[in-house]
C-alpha cells in the first residue's frame, strides 16, 4: 500500500509539469510574441515582434467577403479559439513622400481619429518580406480603459495584429497607408479572392518589392472596405516612385504625381475630381505642399516631424491626431510619436534589402 501511494503521489506530482510543458509547446511562439510586447508611450503606444507563422498564405487561398470571415480565420488560426470583434473606425489622415537633407526617401503619415491606442508590430514571414506596420488597436477592441498589459490575458488579442495594419514599410522600401475617402466603388470579380481594408495592406507589405508590383498585386484581388469606411491607399517605394490607388466606377485607378513629391489626404484625387469629406482635407494638403515647395522639395526629418504635428486634425478643440510616423524608405529607419508628443520620438529600424 505504501508503494502504491508513492506511485500515485509521483504521478500527481508530475501531471502539472506535463501540463505546463504541453502548454509551452502549444503556445511557444505566442508566448515569445507576447513577451516582446512593450509599452513605449503612456498615450497607449506599444511595440511587439511577431514570432511564428501567422498563416497569411493560407488566408490568401480563401480571403474574406466580410469582417465575420476575418474574425473567424483569426480566431481559429492565431487566437486559439478566443473570439475577436473588429471595431471599424474611419480616419482623417494625411500622408506624403519627399526627400530629406541626405537625399533619403521619406514617407510621412498622420492618423487622425478618436482615441486609438496603437501597436508597431514587426513581422518576418517565411514566404514574404519582413516589415514593420502600425496597428490601430481599437480595431481589435482595445480602448483607453482596456489596454494590453505584458504577458497578461489582456494582451492576447494583440496576436491578431498582422491582419490589422493601417500603415507600414517592408524590407524592400515599400510603404503603404490607408486614408478614408467619401466613396469607393470596387468591381467584384467572381474569379478573384476578396480581401478587406487591412489585409490589402498586409498583402502589399508581405509580397510587393516595388510600387509596380503592389499595383499588380492589388489588381489580382477584389476588395471590400470594413464597416463601410471607404478608403484609398498611398503607396511609395525606395526609388521615390509613389501612387495613390483608388477604386472608382468599378475600376482600380492609379493617381501619379508630376512632382518630385506626392501628397494624399481624404479626398478622391483621380482625374482631378478632388471629392472631399469636408473635414480640412484640402487645408492639410495645401499646408504640406506649401512647406515642401518652399523648401525646394526637401525637408529634414525634424521639419517633417514638426509638419506632421502641425497638420494633425483638431475638431472642436479635440485633438484627433493619434499617431505620426516617418518611414525612411532608403535606410529602414522609423520615427514614431503619439498625439503631437514630439518630445518622445520612438525610434526603430528594419534591415533593408534593396536590389
What was the pLDDT predicted at 263?
98
What was the pLDDT predicted at 20?
46
HSE, CB side, 13 Å, CA atoms: give it for residue 183.
Answer: 9
Report the CATH architecture of 37-349: 4-Layer Sandwich (3.60)
Q: pLDDT tens track of the chain, all 355 residues? A: 555 555 555 555 555 544 444 445 567 899 999 999 999 999 999 999 999 999 999 999 999 999 999 999 999 888 877 787 776 655 679 999 999 999 999 999 999 999 999 999 999 999 999 999 999 999 888 999 999 998 888 999 999 999 999 999 999 999 999 999 999 998 889 999 999 999 999 999 999 999 999 999 999 999 999 988 999 999 999 999 999 999 999 999 999 999 999 999 999 999 999 999 888 999 999 999 999 999 999 999 999 999 999 999 998 889 999 999 999 999 999 999 999 999 999 999 999 998 7
What was the pLDDT predicted at 90?
58
What was the pLDDT predicted at 83?
80
Closest CA to 245 of 227, 228, 226, 221: 221
**Residue 179 — φ and ψ, nearest 5°?**
-140, 135
Q: Give every CB contact of residue 352 below 8 A, 6+ residues apart in sequence.
A: 171, 172, 173, 238, 330, 331, 332
| Residue ranges covered by each domain of the chain | 37-349
Question: What letters, b where the CB count within 10 A reaches 16 and e where it falls short, cover 91-106?
Answer: bbbbbbbbbbeeebbb
What was the pLDDT predicted at 259?
95
Amino acid at each position: 500500500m505504501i508503494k502504491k501511494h508513492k506511485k500515485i503521489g509521483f504521478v500527481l506530482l508530475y501531471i502539472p509539469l506535463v501540463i505546463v510543458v504541453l502548454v509551452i509547446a502549444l503556445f511557444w511562439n505566442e508566448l515569445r510574441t507576447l513577451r516582446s510586447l512593450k509599452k513605449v508611450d503612456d498615450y497607449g503606444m506599444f511595440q511587439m515582434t511577431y514570432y511564428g507563422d501567422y498563416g497569411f498564405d493560407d488566408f490568401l487561398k480563401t480571403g474574406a467577403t466580410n469582417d465575420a470571415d476575418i474574425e473567424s480565420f483569426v480566431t481559429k488560426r492565431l487566437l486559439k479559439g478566443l473570439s475577436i470583434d473588429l471595431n471599424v473606425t474611419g480616419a482623417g489622415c494625411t500622408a506624403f513622400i519627399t526627400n530629406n537633407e541626405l537625399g533619403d526617401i521619406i514617407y510621412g503619415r498622420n492618423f487622425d481619429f478618436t482615441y486609438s491606442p496603437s501597436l508597431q508590430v514587426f513581422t518576418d514571414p517565411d514566404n514574404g518580406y519582413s516589415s514593420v506596420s502600425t496597428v490601430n488597436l481599437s480595431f481589435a477592441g482595445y480602448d483607453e480603459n482596456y489596454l494590453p498589459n505584458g504577458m497578461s490575458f489582456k494582451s492576447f488579442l494583440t496576436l491578431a495584429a498582422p491582419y490589422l495594419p493601417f500603415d507600414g514599410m517592408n524590407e524592400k522600401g515599400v510603404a503603404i497607408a490607408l486614408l478614408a475617402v467619401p466613396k469607393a466603388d470596387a468591381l467584384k470579380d467572381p474569379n478573384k479572392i476578396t480581401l478587406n481594408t487591412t489585409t490589402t495592406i498586409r498583402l502589399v507589405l508581405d509580397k510587393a518589392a516595388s510600387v509596380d508590383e503592389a499595383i499588380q498585386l492589388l489588381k489580382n484581388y477584389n476588395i471590400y472596405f470594413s464597416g463601410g469606411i471607404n478608403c484609398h491607399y498611398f503607396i511609395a517605394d525606395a526609388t521615390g516612385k509613389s501612387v495613390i490607388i483608388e477604386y472608382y466606377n468599378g475600376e482600380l485607378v492609379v493617381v501619379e504625381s508630376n512632382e518630385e513629391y506626392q501628397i494624399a489626404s481624404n479626398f478622391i484625387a483621380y482625374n482631378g475630381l478632388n471629392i472631399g469629406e469636408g473635414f480640412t482635407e484640402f487645408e492639410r494638403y495645401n499646408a504640406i505642399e506649401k512647406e515642401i515647395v518652399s523648401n525646394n522639395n526637401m525637408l529634414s526629418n525634424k521639419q517633417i516631424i514638426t509638419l506632421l504635428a502641425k497638420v494633425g486634425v483638431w475638431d472642436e478643440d479635440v485633438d484627433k491626431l493619434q499617431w505620426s510616423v516617418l518611414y525612411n524608405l532608403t535606410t529602414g529607419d522609423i520615427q514614431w510619436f503619439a498625439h503631437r508628443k514630439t518630445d518622445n520620438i520612438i525610434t526603430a529600424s528594419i534591415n533593408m534589402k534593396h536590389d
